[in-house]
Amino acid sequence: MRTEASAITLKMEVAERLIITGGSNFGVRYDDQKILKPADFSFVAFANSDFHRKSEAAVIKEILVCDYGVESSRIFAETMSSTTEENAEILKILLRRRPAFTGNESIAILTLLYHMEKALPVFLKAGLVVEPLFVENILADNGQIDRVCEYYGTPKGGKQYPLNWMRRLLSNSESLSALMDL
């Protein structure tokens, strides 16, 4: 859903470019069968991870370019981070790069509602001026309200969201911010 919403965001010119975050987490945070609890943040795990598999960001960029026809020059794949906290810290470093960034960019976090509840405070705490941009709103504005509500028919992030309220917000093109911190 996030990848599709990313493509829509670029095609509808909601954003002119994207930084996709997500490092090589295979063998660090998950394997082919399960999520690793606790995650293995050892040097060996990271070294093996970036050798054996592409990073999450690289995979998403490849899909956006190959399957959705997005120009590769509009997407930067940040491939080092393994946590939301690292996403924010590495983004801070990237945004200081000149002339790629001016320091006056309007920045939005494009993610799912259940992850936004964690991500937005982390990015704000890191000192970034960001706005939430919900995957669900992008998809709903593209005629996919039923798909979004079906997805949330089961709990996400340990939480069951009120589907009637969600459907009403999406139907009225209102941000899902109201559903945060319930």
- Cα 21 to Cα 94, 148, 153, distances in angstroms: 11, 23, 27
Domains of the chain: 2-143 (3.40.50.620)
pLDDT of residue 150: 98
Where do runs of H (alpha helix) occur along 70-132?
84-95, 113-125
Instruction: Please enumerate in sequence order all residues whose Cβ is within 8 A of that of 68, keeping only pairs 6 or more positions apart, or say none.
Output: 3, 4, 7, 11
CA 20 to CA 127: how far, in whole Å?
Answer: 19
Instruction: Please enumerate in sequence order all residues whose Cβ is within 8 A of that of 58, keeping only pairs 6 or more positions apart, or say none.
Output: 77, 79
CA 173 to CA 141: how far, in whole Å?
Answer: 7
pLDDT of residue 182: 47
Q: Are 140 and 148 in contact (CB under 8 A)?
A: yes
CA 92 to CA 19: how far, in whole Å?
Answer: 12
pLDDT of residue 87: 95
pLDDT of residue 71: 97
CB atoms within 10 A of CB 70: 20
Which long-range CB contacts under 8 A does 100-107 form with residues at least 24 apart? 106/131, 107/131
pTM, two decimals, is 0.89
Residue-by-residue pLDDT tens, the chain, 182 positions: 999 999 999 999 999 999 999 988 888 888 889 998 998 999 999 888 888 889 999 999 999 999 999 999 999 999 999 999 999 999 999 998 888 888 888 899 999 999 999 999 999 999 999 999 999 999 999 999 999 999 999 999 899 999 999 999 999 999 999 999 74
